[in-house]
Amino acid sequence: MVKEIERAGIPVVHIATVVPISKTVGANRIIPAIAIPHPLGDPNLAKQKQKEIRKELVLKALEALQTPIDSQTVF
């Protein structure tokens, strides 16, 4: 899916836990996530703390979108 969106000319960042799969499917901008069932949260933490971590990941994703790259990059 990432590849087709990128093919259409839209920059896309992939937030995914299993980075090797993300690479195989051809994502170019990759953000490693927390865990498979909760990529952007950690149920062991309090709600507010979870949101802080989520924000960090999303900010990292936005950073990746604004970074020029010429090949697959894990941020």
Instruction: Report the interface residues with another protein, using CB under 8 A.
Output: 1-18, 20-22, 24-29, 33, 35-41, 43, 47, 50-51, 54-55, 57-59, 61-62, 65-73
Q: How far is the CB of 26 from another protein (least distance, A)?
A: 6
Give me the amino acid identity at 8.
A
Q: How far is the CB of 56 from another protein (least distance, A)?
A: 9
Task: Please say whether the beta carbons of 11 and 19 come within 8 A.
Answer: no
How many beta carbons lie within 10 A of that of residue 30, not counting itself? Answer: 20
Distance CA 63, CA 75 (A): 9
Q: How far is the CB of 8 from another protein (least distance, A)?
A: 3
